[in-house]
Amino acid sequence: MKWSLIVVLLVSIQFATAQIVFDLEEPKINEINLKETSDGIFCEVKTNEDSWPIFEWSVNGVKIKESEPLLTSGYSEDDKIRCTVIATNGYLNSTDFREIISAQSSPPAITGAIIGATDTNGVFPWLLAGLLGGVILVLALINLRLYRKIKS
Mean pLDDT of the chain: 80
Query: pLDDT digits over 35-94, tens only?
Result: 998 889 999 999 998 899 999 999 999 999 878 999 988 899 999 999 999 999 888 899
In the chain, the percentage of residues whose pLDDT exceeds 70 is 72
Q: Is the pLDDT of residue 25 over 90?
A: no
DSSP H or E segment with residue 143:
helix 125-151
Looking at per-residue pLDDT, the higher value among 81 and 125 belongs to 81
- Read off φ and ψ for residue 143, nearest 5 degrees: -65, -35
Burial class (CB in 10 A: 0-12, 13-18, 19+), 55: middle
Q: Is 15 helix (H, G, I), strand (E, B) or coil?
A: helix
Q: Which residues contact 36 (CB under 8 A, 6 or more apart)?
A: 42, 100, 102, 103, 104
Torsion of CA 21, 22, 28, 34, to 10 degrees: -140
DSSP H or E segment with residue 96:
strand 93-101
Domain architecture of the chain: domains with CATH: 24-101 (2.60.40)
Q: Which residues contact 50 (CB under 8 A, 6 or more apart)?
A: 24, 25, 27, 89
Looking at per-residue pLDDT, the higher value among 98 and 21 belongs to 98
Q: Is the pLDDT of residue 137 over 90?
A: no
